[in-house]
Amino acid sequence: MKLWLLRHAPVVLEAGLCYGASDVPADAALTLLAAEKAAAFLPPGLPVWTSALGRTRQLGADLQCLRPDLSGFAQDPRLNEMDFGQWELQPWSAIPRAAFDAWMADFAHHRFGGVESTRAILARVALALGSLRERGLEEAVWVTHAGVIRSVAYLADVGQHPLTMAEQWPREAPEPGGYIQITL
């Protein structure tokens, strides 16, 4: 199965803030530009899902206007970004080094910010991928976030092999407004 993964456009926040599950808006002009780029390369008639967060729904709505042949545009909260809990919307520089070190020491299971672990986001992304497979789809589009895109890349590379160290986690993700296509 081919999965097109579109990342939301840059958010309207000051630089250096930790954001994940916070529902912050994306830059409207850059969202439209990302939609125009995606509209030019996506194959016809593909089903589209967005996360439940506004910054991906914005991109989905712009894409739907440009490409009415694409179908669905359903929201799936399993495509939401990782929830950084108490660190949401805090400057990365203000997060205690000990909190970050604890996450890196137990990357799979530690709930950075107290809410969600890396293993938890992997599990929900795996469930969302399972839903695509159950539908028998050969190709689909997700409008989502860097953490979900890295989760898909990890699962495509190693499957359900347990994540044990931060070094196993994919470093690369498309820039905001960018995309990647992964074959599963």
Q: What's the pLDDT at 161?
A: 85
d(CA 52, CA 153): 21
Task: Name the token pair of 88.
Answer: 């949401």
What is the pLDDT at residue 27? 98
- Tell me, what's the pLDDT at 106? 97
Domains delineated in the chain: 2-183 (3.40.50.1240)
Which tens digit of pLDDT belongs to each residue from 4-13? 999 999 999 9
pLDDT tens figures, 165-180: 999 999 999 999 999 9
Phi-psi region of 137 (alpha: psi -120 to 50; beta: other; left: phi over 0): beta
| Contact in structure between 27 and 93 (CB atoms under 8 Å) | no
Rg of the chain on CA atoms, in Å:
16
**Residue stretches of the chain with pLDDT short of 50:** none
Write down the pLDDT at residue 159.
Answer: 85
